[in-house]
Each structure stands twice: as C-alpha cells, then as structure tokens.
C-alpha cells in the first residue's frame, strides 16, 4: 500500500508548487517538477524521483520505489500542476548536472525567451544526434515547466550547459568548432562543410543575432522560395541541425 496525502497545506505541496513556479528555488534545490503520465514513466526508467504523487496507484511507474510514492486527491494535483487538466501524476526529479560540454555538433541558444521554442530545440537536437546544447544570454530557464513539456524528456538526456559568452568561446576553442549563427542574411547550408565540428547558434526571433554572436560566428541561412520574413526559430533550427549533420544522410 502507498502512503496517502490529503492536506493542501502540507509543506511538500508548497515545495512542489515553488519548484514549478520559481527558477531560483529550483536551482537552490537542484531538483525540478515534471508532470504527465508518459514523461514521468519514461524518466522513472533512468532516474529515481525524490517523490512521486499520483491520484491513482495505477499511474505509478513500476520502477519507482514504494517509499517515494504518495497517493493524493485530485484537488492536490490541481494545486501542484501547471495544467488546466492534470494527468494525475507529478514527480520531483534531480536536476541534470553538466560541467563542460564536449562534442562535434553543439547547438547554442541565445536569448530565446519562449519556453516552447526552447524545449522544441532541445528535443530536436537530441533526435537529430547533436551532442549538447549551450544556453547563453537572456534565454529562459530550460527547467521551466513549459520548456520541460515541449522537450518531452530531452532535458534529461541531452547534455545542457549554461554559461557566459566567454564560456561559449572556450567551448568553441576546446572542441575546435566552426561557429555558425542562423540569420536571414547568411549563406545557405551547402556553403559550409557539414563534416566539420560545428556550433550552431540560434537567436531570439524578434531581436536577431546579438552583437556578441556577430563577432563570434559566420552567418548561415535557409533559402526561402517565397517572400517570408523568417521561419520560427525552432523550425529553422530543426532544418539547420538536419542539414549540418552528415550522419543523417548516410
């Protein structure tokens, strides 16, 4: 039998709500909140949640120790959840740790503040075989609840490093990467040797490539057949990540 929790005032409930709502609190705790049946089940196969709360014991993944599980009312799940219609299960997982990225295909994310776009980029990078993501500038928190949902588990599987422009320059130097920034005024992908180690930098749609990125990167662009200003950054990133990874074309 699992333990039960029924009080909305329980300190654990307040803790989980703060994890969902407050970035500083997440980083101080070094844990984050994940919700949804599929993603919690998938993550529980590779990570042990500190605590899992479900409205029904049938929603508890078999891999989770019984001592880490609480059964709660729907009212409690509604309070914890950021969704209008919660799926009945949430879990607190350890925050992924990464010190220094390594690899020949790295995506950098500069000042993208839409969590849906950020999560989609991370998901695509993992799916297309990129080695990691570097987050710089005023980019939103990758552990934001909406970013986690959009990433669909990639947040825990793709190495993610956050740092300064100096850290990014060191990453480029250490891994001998060709730095390319997506920009409407850039050259088409075929102008670059995709066999080279590459850093692809994706920027805020509204403000474009930052001054720091201008100094650091050559510009790459996707040729368009009609008069459109630009593509959504997550869509553009997906096309470029595919184009720049020759392993996908074998």
Domains of the chain: which residue ranges?
A: 3-94, 105-249
SS3 category, 138 = coil
Mean pLDDT across the stretch 221-237?
Answer: 83
CA distances from 127 to 119, 124, 132, 152 (A): 12, 5, 11, 11
- How confident is the model at residue 229, as a pLDDT? 67
Confidence of residue 231 (pLDDT cuts 50, 70, 90): confident
Top CATH class, 105-249: alpha beta
Which has the higher per-residue pLDDT, 204 or 119?
119
- How confident is the model at residue 11, as a pLDDT? 96
Mean pLDDT across the stretch 221-226?
Answer: 84
Give the DSSP letter of residue 63. Answer: T
- How confident is the model at residue 123, as a pLDDT? 98
Mean pLDDT across the stretch 5-27?
Answer: 95
Apex 83 CA angle, 114 and 145, nearest 5:
40
Q: Is the pLDDT of residue 225 over 80?
A: no
pTM of the full structure? 0.91
- How confident is the model at residue 228, as a pLDDT? 65
Q: Is the pLDDT of residue 250 over 70?
A: no
Rounded-to-integer distance, Cα 154 and Cα 109, Å: 15
- β 160-162/3-5 pair status: unpaired
Return the closest-CA partner of residue 184 out of 215, 206, 199: 206
With b for 16 or more beta-carbon neighbours within 10 A and e for fewer, the 131-156 pattern comes to bbbbbbbebbbbbbbbbbbbbbbbbb
Q: What HEC string does 71-108 produce?
A: EECHHHHHHHCCCCCCCCEEEEEECCCCCCCCCCEEEE
Return the closest-CA partner of residue 41 out of 77, 88, 3, 82: 88
Q: What is the pLDDT of residues 69-119, one digit of tens each?
A: 999 999 999 999 988 899 999 999 999 988 789 999 999 999 999 999 999
Q: Is the pLDDT of residue 4 over 90?
A: yes
Can you name the CATH fold of 3-94? 60s Ribosomal Protein L30; Chain: A; (3.30.1330)
Q: What percent of the chain has pLDDT over 70?
A: 98
Backbone φ and ψ of 217, nearest 5°: -120, 155
CA count, 13 A, side-chain hemisphere, 92 = 20
Q: What is the pLDDT of residues 152-195, one digit of tens each?
A: 999 999 999 999 999 999 999 999 999 999 998 899 999 999 99
Return the closest-CA partner of residue 91 out of 46, 39, 142: 39
Mean pLDDT across the stretch 225-230?
Answer: 69
Mean pLDDT across the stretch 55-66?
Answer: 94
Q: What is the CA radius of gyration of the chain?
A: 20
């Amino acid at each position: 039998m699992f333990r039960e929790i029924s009080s909305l005032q329980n300190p654990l409930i307040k803790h989980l709500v703060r994890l969902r709502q407050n970035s500083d609190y997440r980083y101080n705790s070094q844990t984050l909140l994940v919700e949804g049946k599929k993603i919690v089940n998938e993550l529980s196969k590779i990570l042990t949640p500190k605590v899992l709360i479900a409205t029904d014991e049938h929603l508890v993944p078999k891999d989770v120790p019984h001592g880490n599980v609480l059964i709660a009312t729907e009212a409690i799940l509604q309070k914890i959840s950021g969704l209008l219609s919660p799926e009945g299960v949430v879990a607190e997982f350890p925050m992924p740790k990464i010190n220094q990225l390594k690899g020949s295909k790295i995506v950098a994310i500069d000042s993208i503040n839409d969590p849906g776009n950020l999560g989609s980029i991370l998901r695509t990078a993992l799916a297309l075989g990129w080695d990691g993501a570097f987050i710089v500038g005023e980019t939103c928190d990758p552990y934001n609840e909406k970013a986690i949902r959009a990433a669909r588990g990639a947040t825990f599987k793709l190495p993610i490093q956050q740092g300064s422009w100096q850290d990014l320059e060191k990453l480029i130097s250490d891994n001998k990467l060709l730095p390319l920034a997506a920009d409407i005024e850039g050259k088409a992908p075929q102008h670059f040797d995709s066999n080279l180690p590459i850093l692809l930098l994706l920027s805020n749609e509204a403000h474009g490539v930052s001054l720091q990125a201008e100094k650091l990167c050559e510009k790459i662009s996707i040729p368009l057949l009609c008069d459109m200003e630009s593509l959504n950054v997550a869509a553009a990133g997906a096309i470029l990540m595919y184009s720049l990874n020759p392993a996908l074309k074998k």
